[in-house]
C-alpha cells in the first residue's frame, strides 16, 4: 500500500510509520514538527519507501500519485501541548481533518482518524462505551482539543455518509512508552523524570482521579487491526486496567527505586475524574486486547528515559 501519515513524526505517528514500512508499505509522513520531532523518524530515512514532508496539514495538501490509506494523526495531544497551542489544536482537528479527508476522497483511499477518549470529557458513565455522548465543557481550556476532535469525528462520519469514504475512527485512550517527550507534561513521563532526578512527584489534586494506561506496542497493534477492519464507526482503543494517579506515582517511585516524595498541587481545570475504556467492540470486531501489563510497560519506558537522561548529561 501507499500510505499517508499525518503527525508521522509524533509519538504514536512515528511508531505507525515504522510498523507500516516494516510491513512493506510505502509511507509518506507529514508533520509540521511543533510537537513532533525528526529524532523520532531519524532511523526511517534509511528504509526504502519512506518520505517526509514538513507541512502544516491545515493548508492544502498535494500528494502526487495514488494513495491507499490516509492516517490523520497530527495534533498536539497532551493537555500541556494543547494549552500551549490552542488555536493550532482547533485548526488541525477541524481544518486538518477536512484537508486529509479531501485527500482520501480524491484518491479513493481509506481513512483513519486519530480521535480520543477526550470526546467523553469528564464522563458521567463508567467505563466509557462508544455509544456514550460525553460530558464536555466547550469553553474550558481542554475544550480546544475535545471539541476539535468531536468536530473531526462529525466531519469524518459526514464524508463517509455523503461521499462514501471508507473511514475508521480510533478513540485512543491514554497511551505511553518510549519516545514520549520528557516535557510534554503528561503524568507518566513527568513522574518518571521526577523520580529519576530525585525530585518530588507533582500529583494534581488529591490524586484520586483515575486513568487507564495502554502501552504503545498494544496501541499500534490495535490501530493496524482497525485499519484492516470494515468498521465504519468509532472504536475505543485502550487498556481497561484502571488506576488512580496517586497509585501511578507510587508505582513509578517503586520501579525506579527512587527516594522522591510526592507533592500535591492544585488540580487542573476540567480534569476528568475517571477514565476507563470499555473495549468490548475492539475485542469482538478486531480480536484485539492489550497484552502488556502496566508494570512491564513502565519498566521499558523507565529504561528508555534513563538512557535519554544519560545522553542529555553527556551533551551538557
Ligand atoms: N497529572 C498529575 N501530575 C502531573 C501530570 C498529570 O497529577 O505532573 C494528572 C492529571 O491531572 C490527570 C492525569 O494525571 O488527572 C493524567 O494526565 P495526563 O496529562 O497524562 O493526560 P490526560 O489523561 O489528562 O489527558
Q: What is the CATH number of the domain that holds 16?
A: 3.40.50.720
pLDDT at 312 over 90: no
Residues 129 and 192 in one domain: no
Spatial separation of the C-alpha atoms in residues 197 and 85, rounded to whole Å: 28
Residues 222 and 302 in one domain: no
Give, using CA atoms, the residue closest to atom 21 of ligand 1. Answer: 186
Which among 85, 111, 145, 215 is annotated as catalytic? Answer: 145
Q: What is the pTM of this model?
A: 0.97
pLDDT score of 314: 78
Per-residue pLDDT averaged across 44-55, rounded?
97
- Range(s) of the domain holding residue 204: 187-210+242-273+293-315
Q: Within 10 A of 47 (CB to CB), how many other CB atoms are there?
A: 13
Is any ligand 1 atom within 6 A of the Cβ of residue 180?
Answer: no
145 is catalytic: yes
pLDDT at 224 over 90: yes
pLDDT at 55 over 80: yes
Residues 157 and 39 in one domain: yes
pLDDT score of 265: 97
pLDDT at 109 over 80: yes
Spatial separation of the C-alpha atoms in residues 235 and 189, rounded to whole Å: 26
Structural domain contains residue 284? no
- Testing ligand 1's pocket by substitution, the residue of 202, 211, 262 carrying the most ligand atoms inside 8 A of its CB is 211
Residues 153 and 231 in one domain: yes
Residues 277 and 238: beta-carbon distance below 8 Å: yes
Residues 88 and 192 in one domain: no
CA 293 to chain centre: 18
- Sorted by sequence, the CB contacts under 8 Å of residue 222 that are 6+ apart come out as 170, 237, 282, 286, 288, 290
The sign of the dihedral angle between the CA atoms of 84, 193, 289, 208 is: negative
Structural domain contains residue 181? no
Is any ligand 1 atom within 6 A of the Cβ of residue 238?
Answer: no
Q: Is 315 exposed, middle or buried (CB count within 10 Å of its CB: 0-12, 13-18, 19+)?
A: exposed
Is any ligand 1 atom within 6 A of the Cβ of residue 204?
Answer: yes
How much is the mean pLDDT over the chain?
97
Structural domain contains residue 160? yes
pLDDT at 310 over 90: no
Model confidence over 285-306: pLDDT tens digits?
999 999 999 999 999 999 999 9
Is any ligand 1 atom within 6 A of the Cβ of residue 186?
Answer: yes
Residues 86 and 108 in one domain: yes
Structural domain contains residue 282? no
Cell triple for 125: 458513565
pLDDT at 24 over 80: yes
pLDDT at 9 over 80: yes
CA-based end-to-end distance of the chain: 43
Is any ligand 1 atom within 6 A of the Cβ of residue 203?
Answer: yes
Residues 69 and 129 in one domain: yes
Q: Which residue in this structure is represented by grid cell 492489550? A: 290
Residues 221 and 301 in one domain: no
Give, using CA atoms, the residue closest to atom 14 of ligand 1. Answer: 187
Phi, psi dihedrals of residue 204, rounded to the nearest 5°: -85, 140
Residues 107 and 143 in one domain: yes
Residues 213 and 176: beta-carbon distance below 8 Å: yes
Amino acid at each position: 500500500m501507499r500510505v499517508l501519515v499525518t503527525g508521522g513524526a509524533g509519538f504514536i505517528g512515528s511508531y505507525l510509520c515504522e510498523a507500516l514500512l516494516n510491513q512493506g508499505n510505502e509511507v509518506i509522513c507529514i508533520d509540521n514538527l511543533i510537537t513532533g520531532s525528526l529524532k523520532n523518524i531519524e532511523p526511517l530515512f534509511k528504509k526504502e519507501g519512506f518520505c517526509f514532508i514538513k507541512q502544516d496539514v491545515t493548508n492544502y495538501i498535494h500528494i502526487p500519485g495514488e494513495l491507499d490509506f490516509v492516517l490523520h494523526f497530527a495534533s498536539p495531544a497532551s493537555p500541556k501541548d494543547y494549552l500551549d497551542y490552542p488555536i493550532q489544536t482547533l485548526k488541525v482537528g477541524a481544518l486538518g481533518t477536512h484537508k486529509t479527508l479531501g485527500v482520501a476522497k480524491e484518491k479513493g483511499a481509506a481513512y483513519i482518524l486519530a480521535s480520543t477518549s477526550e470526546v467523553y470529557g469528564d464522563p458521567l458513565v463508567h467505563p466509557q462505551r462508544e455509544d456514550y455522548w460525553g460530558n464536555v465543557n466547550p469553553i474550558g481550556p481542554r475544550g480546544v482539543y475535545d471539541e476539535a476532535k468531536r468536530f473531526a469525528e462529525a466531519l469524518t462520519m459526514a464524508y463517509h455518509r455523503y461521499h462514501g469514504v471508507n473511514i475508521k475512527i480510533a478513540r485512543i485512550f491514554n497511551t505511553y512508552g518510549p519516545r514520549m517527550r520528557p516535557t510534554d507534561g503528561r503524568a507518566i513521563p513527568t513522574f518518571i523524570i521526577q523520580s529519576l532526578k530525585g525530585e518530588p512527584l507533582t500529583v494534581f489534586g488529591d490524586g484520586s482521579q483515575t486513568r487507564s494506561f495502554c502501552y504503545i506496542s498494544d496501541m499500534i497493534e490495535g490501530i493496524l487491526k482497525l485499519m484492516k477492519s470494515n468498521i465504519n464507526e468509532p472504536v475505543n482503543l485502550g487498556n481497561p486496567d484502571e488506576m488512580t494517579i496517586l497509585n501511578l506515582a507510587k508505582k513509578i517511585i517503586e520501579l525506579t527505586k527512587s527516594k522522591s516524595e510526592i507533592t500535591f498541587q492544585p488540580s487542573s481545570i476540567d480534569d476528568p475524574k475517571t477514565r476507563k475504556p470499555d473495549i468490548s467492540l475492539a475485542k469482538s470486531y478486531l480480536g484485539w486486547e492489550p497484552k502488556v501489563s502496566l508494570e512491564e510497560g513502565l519498566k521499558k519506558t523507565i529504561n528508555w528515559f534513563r538512557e535519554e537522561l544519560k545522553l542529555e548529561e553527556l551533551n551538557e
